[in-house]
Chains A and B, each alone.
Chain A
Amino acid sequence: MAQRQTIEANGSVILEAQQVTHLYQGRGEQRRGGHAPVVLEAISLQIRSGELVALLGPSGSGKSTLLRILAGLIRPTQGAVYVHGQPLQGPTPSCAMVFQSFALFPWLTVLQNVELGLEALGLPRLQRLKRALAIIDKIGLDGFEEAYPKELSGGMRQRVGFARALVVEPELLLLDEPFSALDVLTAANLRRELLQLWYQASIPTRAMLLVTHNIDEAVSMADRLLILGADPGHIRAEIRGLPRGRREPHSPAYLQLVDLIYRLMTSPDEDGAALLEEEPALVRRGQRRPSRPYQMLPHVAPADIIGLLELVQARGSRADLAELGRELQLELDELLPLVDAAALLQLARPEAGDLVLTEVGQQLAEADLQKEKQLFRQQALARVALLCRIAEDLAAAPEQRMDKERYLERLREHFSEGEAEAQLQTLIEWGRYAEIFTYQEEAGIFALETDAEREDLAAEAAGGTREQ
């Protein structure tokens, strides 16, 4: 550990991103004309030798895209990435990456998968074998050399992913949510072993960049944390991590940092800035951004929102988000959208790291199913502009039917193709739940389920039973 600390003291910059901006370039996106959605905006960051940096952000903040730009897989639309001061042209041998999905070749054995990293170097076979076996031994995979990935458990598979990345002895290790596909125990075990290798300097890696959804993971591992905001992705704050010796969970400093991050991430940019005013851990603050001009629905199911409300209600209509997340084992990308949705519908509001139910939220949490639906409908119509719009259109339309294309077109003006579709899907789900409309998937048509029709149906059903 002493060795690492000294390196950290005079850490030189390994990788640097300057004003990286990236626009979404989908298939056929240019043809349609108009403006391409911005994924990342003016991102600048440095990775120094000796440090482990965590990149935290809600979904839609372009974390994965950023990581792929830093790896040289994607060329940013504007700005540049430098490795040791040299502009990055494409993937370089000094960076390696570990994937959330493991990304192992199912037709290669563990040994062959690890050796794959060395193929490109054109080494002779024996040398390849020697290096691969050495890293397999170090990472705790010996005995599994001849196994195929499908024979391994998730944790073992990710070890192969680490071995393949480390075998090329990269200076910088990029970790794309490497533990999020593993169960809690396996993830903890693998995390600890990785940190051990890293602290003892038994791998030649000089820096790591960890993308994660898990705040506890970030706080317990990182020397520095970058908090991203969404739409488009931008850096909201850069926070100093805890010193290595003081990262026991439940210690006051640890809990304080976790709480700070939750508060930061559940508050809009303006409030977040105020929050950071006298924060000693703050290293750098990103620019403030105006809030999004167009409403964006979080992709969550109404039943999940209500489930969360009921849970918070059971704790006296106020709950600590960090605790809630830990207890439900929900990571940021699962918890934040729920909180956002509840806030959007004015059923709850985040307040200093807590989630507090509004009056309607409390009513909803205690209501029965029909009342639940009615309250949800009321809030949805009041708060979701497009739902309200559809309801109005349907009421005015002669046959009380509307084509989805009309709304999709509007959404496409503000979102990428895929996101517009996703927005529509969420809209449909909420609208169906709230019984604002019915939707016929194959025809792509919204329709009003009129009372008259319902009565007809009921009459028919009654007639049917009588005949039998």
Chain B
Amino acid sequence: MARMLHSLPQQRRGPSESGGHRWLWLRDLILGGGFLLLLCALLVLAASRWAAPLTPLVALSLSPLALPLYAGYSLLRMLLAYGLALLFTLLYGHVAATNRQAERVLIPLLDLLQSIPILSFLPAVVLALVVAFPHSNIGLELASILLIFTSQAWNMTFSFYHSVLTLPRDLIDVCRLLRLRPWQRFLKLELAASVIGLVWNSMMSWAGGWFFLMASEQFSLGERSFRLPGLGSYLQLAADRGDAQALALGLLTLVGMIVLLDVCLWRPLVAWVERFKVEEQAETAPPRSLVLDLLRGSPTVRWLWKHLGQPLGEGLAWLLNRLQPQPEDRSACLSAVEQARRDQLLHWTRRGVGVLFLGLLVLLALWIGWQGGLLLMQVPPVTWGRLVLAAGATWLRTLSALAIGTLWTVPVGVAIGLSPRWSRRLQPLVQIVASIPATALFPALLALLVALPGSLSLAAILLMLLGTQWYVLFNVIAGAMAIPRDLLEAAALFGVTGWRRWRTLILPALFPFLVTGLLTASGGAWNASIVSELVQFHGQTLHTFGLGAEIAAAAGAGNYPVLLAGTLLMAAVVVLFNRLVWRRLYQLAERRYRLA
């Protein structure tokens, strides 16, 4: 944030400034003050709730008046989880990208973590934290935050890792030649180069967080049930009781919050990170944001930056410089021999620490493997058979969801993408619709679908579709927009129309984008299975046959052997499918269909 404000003083907007300077101050005071007041109130309330004695099953009120507070609680959880995910991303991604030995372990591990559904983390996280804080709500809140974290972190980490890995070699050389300290290199090079990808992935992560909000605010574990006050649990309770009005209000609040965040946080960020584009030419129509313009034009922000931000930044830089001194400052008086001896020592110390660390890691892995093996031994062969069949059922569901998604998004996406007028009009709308978490809509849909034959089995497909079709749609739009005008004109000139036009031009050009979208959607669909194949509705539990239902049921019943078996099976299927199908398709797309 400090870096974001750093640029503000330089971007002066003329007209609004000279006129009503005093009004600007007043406006800033009201807006900023109001924002701070709200924030403080929320923090005080949240703190008092956190410190209160442990109440696993909080009583919720379905009154509309309670909604703002619940929404605040949920938002705070999401923010904290996101902060954690960001921290994790920077640390994990940095280590994975800069340490080759660590990379070999960390990246496959991340691949695995990514394919584990959120509910499988539930027992470990909740039990450990509730035991750690037996007398207050902190443990429970932290557990919920960690659950949200698991739905946010992985894609951001991958994005950061890839950005750091593909840094231009010359820029790295410049950093070394200028002898920038590690923190300077991290801030000015690694973070700066990856910030665009990080922002876009953050938006995706938030969508993922909202999707699993209900699952992470209300869950049961064997005998024990837990419910935290929040928007997710409010929606869940409203659905459970069949209170249509509360459900509608809750949904409205959720959508309102998402839109507000989009306007006040993501749009400004997207417009601001424009400067980090490595592109050589200045872009013609860069994204704009009203809020960012407001911040840039604000005298208060400028004043705060100059009198608070800059000195703080200077102080921090001073401190960090002391913490990471240059080599010659450390050893100016050492002779060359002494220096070489020290280097040798440092080298061996590093080596030793590395080996020790690796050893510990191996021990840990062995222990986990042993314990996991013991647990898995308890799963009878019959259950394994059922799990495999269930995986097949869920696999069919994900495939149908992807197929339906592709069938409708390709024509619509191409229509939007090829028409500049429509893409300009529809894109913001599509983005808002896409940001509504499908899980929140699910109870309302269930009410309609429950009467149909094979109700949940079909409804599960619908939910997967609702959750994942947007990735496909966005990619198709992007792909259609990327088709060069020249090729379209050439096709028109040679009379290539109708199906031939699709087969020879549009579909091949779309292929790489489609694969990217489907890859993301496929992972999302598997993850969605755990919330769509087993649901609480009108006070009863509905479920259908599938791996998601097996995992959700096992987590709810505290049946850890089956939970572990189901999770491993799902991870294996997802990873295998990615490797065998998606990655190959992706390579094919890169090789043959990428338009340079």
Residues of A within 8 A of B (CB): 68, 71-73, 86-87, 89-91, 93, 95-97, 99, 101, 103, 105-109, 116-117, 119-120, 122, 124-125, 146, 148, 150-151, 164, 168, 442
CB pair B276–A106 under 8 Å, yes or no, is yes
Please measure, in the bound complex, the distance between the C-alpha atom of A72 and the C-alpha atom of B188, giving whole angstroms: 22
* Contact pick for A117, options B171, B178, B336, CB 8 Å: B178
Q: A91-B177, A150-B282 are in contact. List 5 more A-B contacts (CB 8 A).
A: A91-B178, A93-B179, A105-B188, A120-B184, A122-B321
* Residue in chain B with minimal CB distance to A149: B280
Do A86 and B178 touch (CB < 8 A)? Answer: no
Closest Cβ–Cβ distance, residue B594 to chain A (whole Å): 14
How many B residues touch A, CB cutoff 8 Å?
36
Residues of A within 8 A of B310 (CB): 125
Count how many pairs of residues, one from A and one from B, have CB atoms less than 8 Å apart in the complex.
84
Residues from chain A with a CB closer than 8 A to the CB of B336 are 86-87
B177–A97 touching, CB < 8 Å:
yes
Which of B170, B339, B592 is within 8 Å of A89, CB to CB?
B339
> Which among B177, B282, B321, B591 is the interface contact of A71 at CB below 8 angstroms?
B177
Which B positions have Cβ atoms within 8 angstroms of A? 10, 168, 170-171, 173-174, 176-181, 184, 188-189, 192-193, 275-282, 310, 314, 318, 321, 326-327, 336, 339, 343, 591-592
Q: Is the CB of A107 within 8 A of B192?
A: yes
User: Which B residues are in CB contact (< 8 Å) with A86?
Assistant: 336
User: A236 CB to closest chain B CB, in angstroms?
Assistant: 27
Contacts of A151 in B (CB 8 A): 282
Q: How many angstroms between the C-alpha atoms of A122 and B324 in the bound complex? A: 11
Residues of A within 8 A of B180 (CB): 116, 119-120
How many angstroms from the CA of A95 to the CA of B282 in the assembled complex? 32
For B343, the chain A residues whose CB sits under 8 A away are 89
A-B residue pairs in contact (CB < 8 Å), sample of 30: A68-B173, A71-B177, A72-B177, A73-B176, A86-B336, A91-B178, A93-B179, A96-B177, A99-B170, A105-B171, A105-B188, A106-B277, A106-B279, A107-B192, A107-B193, A107-B275, A107-B276, A109-B10, A117-B178, A119-B184, A119-B188, A120-B178, A120-B180, A120-B184, A122-B321, A125-B314, A148-B275, A148-B282, A150-B282, A442-B592
* Closest A residue to B175 using CB positions: A116
Give the contacting residue for A101; candidates B170, B275, B276, B591; CB below 8 A. B170
Check B321 against A105 for contact (C-beta < 8 Å). Answer: no
Instruction: Name the A residues within 8 Å of B281 (CB-CB).
Output: 150
Report the separation of the CA atoms of residues A116 and B175 in the bound assembly, to the nearest whole angstrom. 9
**How long is the Cα–Cα vector from A90 to B279 in the complex, in angstroms?**
31
Measured CB to CB, the nearest residue on chain A to B171 is A103
Q: Which residues of B contact A120 (CB under 8 A)?
A: 178-181, 184, 326
Q: Say yes or no: B178 contacts A116, CB within 8 Å.
A: yes
User: A150 touches which one: B168, B188, B193, B279 (CB < 8 A)?
Assistant: B279
Shortest Cβ gap from A73 to chain B (Å): 6
**Choice from B171, B177, B326 contacting A73 with Cβ under 8 Å:** B177
A442 touching B591, Cβ below 8 Å: yes
Give the docked Cα–Cα distance between A68 and B336 (Å): 22
Residues A105 and B178 in contact in the complex (CB < 8 Å), given A89-B339, A148-B275, A150-B280: no
CB-based contact B177/A95 at 8 Å: yes
Asked if B178 contacts A168 (CB within 8 A), the reply is yes
Q: Which residue of B lies closest to A146 (CB)?
A: B10
**Chain A residue nearest to B588 in the complex (CB):** A442
Min CB gap B43→A, angstroms: 33
Q: What is the minimal beta-carbon distance from A61 to any residue of chain B, in angstroms?
A: 19
Query: Which one of B171, B176, B177, B180 has the greatest number of beta carbons of chain A within 10 Å?
Result: B177
Residue with the greatest number of chain B CB neighbours at <10 A, chosen from A86, A107, A168: A107
CA distance A125 to B343 in the complex (A): 33
Q: Enumerate chain B residues within 8 angstroms of A97, measured Cβ to Cβ.
A: 173-174, 177
B188 in contact with A116 (CB, 8 Å): yes
Whole-angstrom distance from the CB of A124 to the nearest CB of chain B? Answer: 8
Question: With A and B bound together, what is the CA distance between A108 and B471 in angstroms?
Answer: 33
Known A91-B179, A120-B326, A125-B314; contact A108-B188, beta-carbon cutoff 8 A: yes
Residue of B nearest to A95 (CB): B177
Which residues from chain B contact A109 at a C-beta distance below 8 Å?
10
Instruction: Report the 3 A-B pairs with minimum CB-CB distance, sorted nearest first.
Output: A103-B170, A120-B179, A107-B276
B277: chain A residues at CB < 8 Å are 106, 150
How near does chain A come to B589, taking the closest CB pair, in angstroms? 13
| Cβ of B315 to closest chain A Cβ, rounded Å | 11
A308 to B280, CA, bound (A): 33
- Complexed CA–CA distance, A99 and B276 (Å): 21
Q: How far is the CA of A60 from the CA of B170 in the complex (A)?
A: 19
> CB within 8 A of B327: which of A68, A90, A164?
A90
Contacts of B276 in A (CB 8 A): 106-107
A108 to B591, CA, bound (A): 35
**Which B residues touch A125, using CB under 8 A?**
310, 314
By a CB distance below 8 angstroms, the chain B residues around A116 are 174, 178, 180, 188
Contact B174 A103 (CB under 8 A): yes
**Residues A105 and B189 in contact in the complex (CB < 8 Å), given A116-B180, A119-B178, A150-B279:** yes
Measured between alpha carbons, how far is A91 from B336 in the docked complex, in Å? 16
> In the complex, which residue of chain B has the Cβ closest to the Cβ of A154?
B280
Chain B residues with CB under 8 Å of A72's CB are 177
Report the nearest A residue to B591, measured CB to CB. A442
Considering the chains assembled together, what is the distance between the CA atoms of A103 and B278 in angstroms? 11
Task: Collect the chain B residues with CB atoms within 8 Å of residue A93's CB.
Answer: 179
